[in-house]
A and B are shown apart, each in its own frame.
Chain A
Amino acid sequence: GGIITQTPKFLIGQEGQKLTLKCQQNFNHDTMYWYRQDSGKGLRLIYYSITENDLQKGDLSEGYDASREKKSSFSLTVTSAQKNEMAVFLCASSHLGVSYEQYFGPGTRLTVL
């Protein structure tokens, strides 16, 4: 078994501020993902990393940067926080390959004042 840890659980920032969300997994998974979930909505892919030295943009990458520091960790930076991007950010990981399920972390709830 394993676990995905996301820090912080709650993140409050000012409009225009640069904010960083962190994700760690101990599954030894190759692939990691960042999703945004707006209240009552589905998941939108922001960035993902297929293997340790890879970085791919998702459908919602504008306004975000990501960094795969090592195999077990994947960070997401909100480059200039906006009030309309208050949401829950979910990190996920999986083994390499499309047949594998993704495991999700508990999420970081972002509030922008």
Chain B
Amino acid sequence: GEQVEQRPPHLSVREGDSAVITCTYTDPNSYYFFWYKQEPGASLQLLMKVFSSTEINEGQGFTVLLNKKDKRLSLNLTAAHPGDSAAYFCAVSANTGNYKYVFGAGTRLKVIA
């Protein structure tokens, strides 16, 4: 079945620097990709969803890149600020009919002022 590896598990950057989180997946049938943010003590909030037909998506203060050839999904936080300190999770789903996501193990990001 699908396996998702998320790197790095922990990341510390200074305010204003960029932070890059990467997920690699194994199932070539994977078609839908999601990034979630979990602030300390809170639940998961959707940051962005990406379909395999798109490669670059921009949000508020971040960019999501999808490289289908390398089966790699990345989240790039540009000019990180302390409010970005949180855990970030990628999730992948495929058109296999089982309606399950496979989550990455998460990246704990700390932005130092």
A interface residue numbers (CB < 8 A to B): 31, 40-43, 45, 48, 50, 56, 58, 90, 92, 96-99, 101-107
Contact = CB atoms under 8 A, between A and B. Distances in A.
Contact of A41 (B45, B91, B99, B105): B105
Contact of A99 (B51, B91, B108): B51
Contacts of B36: 104
Nearest to A107: B43
Contacts of A98: 31-32, 93-96, 99
Contact of B46 (A31, A97, A101): A101
A102 to B, nearest CB: 7
Interface string B47-63: 00101000000000000
Interface residues of B, number: 27
Interface of B: 6, 31-32, 34, 36, 42-46, 49, 51, 89, 91, 93-96, 98-101, 103-106, 108
